[in-house]
Structure 1
Amino acid sequence: MFILFGKIIYLFIWSFLLFNLICPYPKPANLIAYLALATFVIVHGLQAWLLSSTLSSQEKSQDRFKVLRIFLFGVFEALSWKQKKSK
């Protein structure tokens, strides 16, 4: 339940930050949103790159959207992997 709640919050944050690209917020808020979006892209990109490098080629071919889910949901996707492996 905690992981699902975290994923929903991440989707809300991504939509909030990407909406700023379509319809910019007022002056000081849009700069903060641009900075937050850049930070999100860099941090989640690094996390997706690191976690995808740990995947075997078989795991990558089985689920092509795994790296995208890592990029979107970050640590919550990694936690869901851990939860699935423990079951």
Structure 2
Amino acid sequence: MFILLGKLVYSFIWLFLLFNLVHPFPKPANIVAYVGLAAFVLTHGLQAWMLQSTMTNQEKEQDKFKALKLFIFGVFETLSWKNKK
């Protein structure tokens, strides 16, 4: 339940931050949204890159969207992997 709620919150944060690119918010809020988007892209991108570089070719073929799911949901995706095992 906690993991699903976290994934839902991350989805809303991504939508909020990406909406700012299409329709910018008023002056101080748009800067905060740009910084937040940059932080999300950098941290989640680093997580996905580290996962992708440690996976074997067989693991990459088994789950092609694993790195993408990690990029979108971050730590909540890794927590869901722990619960599946």
Given the two structures, how large is their TM-score scaled by the length of structure 2? 0.94
C-alpha displacement of 1:16: 0.2
Which residue pairs with 2:31 in the alignment? 31
C-alpha displacement of 1:49: 1.1
Which residue pairs with 1:42 in the alignment? 42
AA in 2 matched with 1:41: V
AA in 1 matched with 2:67: V
Deviations 1:53-79 (A, max 9, x none): 232221211111111000000001111
Tell me, in whole angstroms, the C-alpha distance in 1 between the residues paired with 2:39 and 2:72.
Answer: 13
Matches within 5 A, 1:52-63: 52-63=52-63
Tell me, in whole angstroms, the C-alpha distance in 2 between the residues paired with 1:41 and 1:8.
Answer: 17
Identical-residue share of aligned pairs (%): 67
Q: How many equivalent pairs are there?
A: 85
Output the aligned Cα RMSD: 0.9
Deviations 1:29-63 (A, max 9, x none): 00110011001000000011112223222121111
Gaps of 5+ in 1: none
